[in-house]
Amino acid sequence: MKSSYFEDMLDRISNKLESRVNAYALLLTLIDETMIKYANSQPSVTQSWSMYELGLYLIKDKKAFVAGLRNPNEKDLDVFIENSLKKLEKIRETELLPEFPSTKTHDALPSLDKKVIDAQSNLGKLMELVSSRMRNETEIAGMISLGKREIMLRTSTGFTGKHANTFFNGYFRIFRGERSGQWAFSSTFYDEGLVEKTLDNAEFYASLKLPYLKPEEGEYTVILSPMVAGNLFSLLAYMSNAFAIQNGLSFLKPSDIEKEITTNELSLYDDPRNIELPFNTPFDAEGVSTYNKPIIEKGVLKNILHNTATARLFGARSTGNAGWIEPTPWNLEIKEGGASLEEMIKDTKKGVLLNNNWYTRFQNYTTGEFSTVARDAIILIENGEFKGLLRKARISSSYPQLLRNIRTIGKERYKIKWWEVENPFILPYVVIDNVRVTIPDFPS
């Protein structure tokens, strides 16, 4: 269906709500996506989705109601809206009351690539590219996802917003015997070079001809690849949102603003205006204009992420990160440092380089104590050189401890998004000292 169909739908709902509530927002998201999933060096499934989601945010007498519908037809929609309005009458006042801005329009953020849309109906070229990398001695698994996302927002204060962007994301894990490597990419634009580079990086880590060693567990300097740093720092970005802080899901406190929480090497940004990455948007879910902002700048916590409702509660201003109820980061960025990967390795006396990780879990969200499991290449470094591989290892630490010990930020950056890095993230390798690494007793 065409955009005009949905715009008419939003007009009709707006008219219906106008006299029934004090304020409202309507957010429509249209997604058309195609995905090729690989396993055992062949496509395991091709998938495609055509879907839309309608969100209703209804406010009356300090009461707020959020409703979401995926794929309703018109008849369902009318029943759903009436049902939502009835429920709104009966609920209690909320602590998180939004205040939609008075701006009516927004600037454009061009981020559509026709090549992505064309490639959706001609997957053969991408499949050829991946197939050309198949080797007898390697096993390739992974996925490539591409498509278009379009959002339309209306608010009772007269805001009308529309934004569309394409996305081209993927990752590959390559196995060579018991060794493996993994890498990922994310972009707004079609770029076969990203697929090639991702396969190259995964293959590099899968192909290291180093012996397996089992060093003592203890404190090490760790070099986090952008895959690992992407996971740990996207969790940090999540924990910088006001909802997480308010609900015991973060070690950060409102009073940490303007305090030094890490070394001055680290600058972590929320970048909704970076059109290179696919979580770009000129406006948030409440119609507030977005802007790029530091979460941490040179070690100092500069921003807690807010929507208008959490901002009201904290006595702050919205940072353009709505999310209804819960603020959300958009694209993420770690500013580049000065070191090459070679220099980072050379400067490490006793360390491990982690290619990838998963399963980060918290013992205590309010203290930030956690552990995470390394996977794929885990490289032991001694006196500036690769010495061997570890079969298994974990990082066991806390966020305050990690942040205090960031030593070096790399200069070359990568655009990452995958299972464990949900927000598109441009970032380099990161070096952290004094990280507790546990190493299991038993080989598999």
Complex with another protein: residue 200 or 343, whichever CB lies closer = 200
Quick one: which segment of 259-267, 281-289, 327-335, 367-375 binds another protein (CB under 8 A)? 367-375
> Measured from the CB atom, is 243 or 269 closer to another protein?
243
| Interactions with another protein, residue window 37-96 (CB under 8 A) | 37-52, 63-73, 76, 80, 83-84, 87, 90-96
**Contact predicate 281/292, CB 8 Å:** no
CA–CA distances in Å: residue 439 to residues 73, 81, 215, 232, 373:
54, 55, 8, 20, 10
Contact status: 207 vs another protein (CB under 8 A) = no
Tell which one of 111, 165, 166, 182 touches another protein (CB under 8 A).
Answer: 182
Write the CA distances from 202 to 25, 128, 144, 207, 250, integer angstroms.
44, 18, 15, 9, 33
Q: Which of 373, 335, 331 is nearest to 354 (CA)?
A: 373
Q: Which residue in 173, 335, 413, 415 binds another protein (CB under 8 A)?
A: 173
Least distance to another protein, CB of residue 333, Å: 24
Residue 28 pairs in a beta bridge with 54, 152
Q: Does 22 bind another protein (CB under 8 A)?
A: no
Q: Residue 69 or residue 208: which is nearer to another protein going by CB?
A: 69
Span 133-162, contacts to another protein by CB under 8 A: 139, 141-143
Compute the least distance from the CB of residue 108 to another protein, in Å. 27
Which DSSP symbol is given to 420? T
- Name the minimum Å distance from CB 141 to another protein: 4
Mind giving me the DSSP string for 48-70? EEEEEEEEEEEEETTEEEEEEEE
Compute the least distance from the CB of residue 238 to another protein, in Å: 15
Q: Any contact of residue 3 with another protein (CB under 8 A)?
A: no
Q: What is the dihedral of CA 344, 348, 351, 353, to 10 degrees?
A: 20
Query: Which residue in the set 24, 100, 168, 172 belongs to the binding site for another protein (CB under 8 A)?
Result: 172
Closest to another protein by CB, 358 vs 386, is: 358
The reply to whether 269 sits near another protein by the rule CB under 8 A is: no
Nearer to another protein, 68 or 110 (CB): 68
131 binds another protein (CB under 8 A): yes
Of 356 and 408, nearer to another protein (C-beta) is: 356
Residue reference for tokens 């989601």: 53
| Residues within window 387-426 making contact with another protein, judged by CB under 8 A | 392, 394, 396, 419
Q: Assess 325 for contact with another protein (CB under 8 A).
A: yes
- Sheet of strand 414-418, all strands in order from the earlier edge strand to the far edge: 300-301, 293-297, 268-270, 332-334, 421-427, 414-418
Q: How far is the CB of 137 from another protein (least distance, A)?
A: 15
Taking CB under 8 A as the rule, does residue 255 contact another protein?
no
How far apart CA 179 and CA 388 sit, in angstroms, is 12
Pairing of strands 421-427, 332-334: parallel
Distances in Å between the Cα of 370 and the Cα atoms of 122, 126, 398, 431, 443 are 44, 39, 6, 18, 24
- What does the chain come to in residues? 444
Q: Which is nearer to another protein, 293 or 436 (CB)?
A: 436
* 323 cis-preceded (ω within 30 degrees of 0): yes
Q: What CA–CA distance (Å, rounded) separates 213 from 393?
A: 12
- Residue 194 within binding range of another protein, rule CB under 8 A: no
Please report how close the Cβ of residue 437 comes to another protein at its closest, in angstroms. Answer: 12
**5 contacts another protein (rule: CB under 8 A):** no
CB 67 → another protein: shortest distance, Å?
4
Instruction: Quote the CA–CA distance of 281 and 425 in Å, as a whole number.
Output: 15
Residue 23 identity (one-letter amino acid)? A
Alpha-carbon span 160 to 113, nearest angstrom: 23
**By C-beta, is 261 or 334 nearer to another protein?**
261
The bridge status of strand 63-70 relative to strand 139-155 is unpaired
Looking at beta carbons only, is 268 or 352 nearer to another protein? Answer: 352
User: Residues binding another protein: what is the number (CB under 8 A)?
Assistant: 88
| Out of 167, 175, 238, 269, the residue judged to bind another protein by CB under 8 A | 175
The CA-to-CA distance between both ends of the chain, in Å, stands at: 53
Q: Does 442 bind another protein (CB under 8 A)?
A: yes
Taking the complex as a whole, how short is the minimal distance between the CB of residue 444 and another protein, in angstroms? Answer: 5
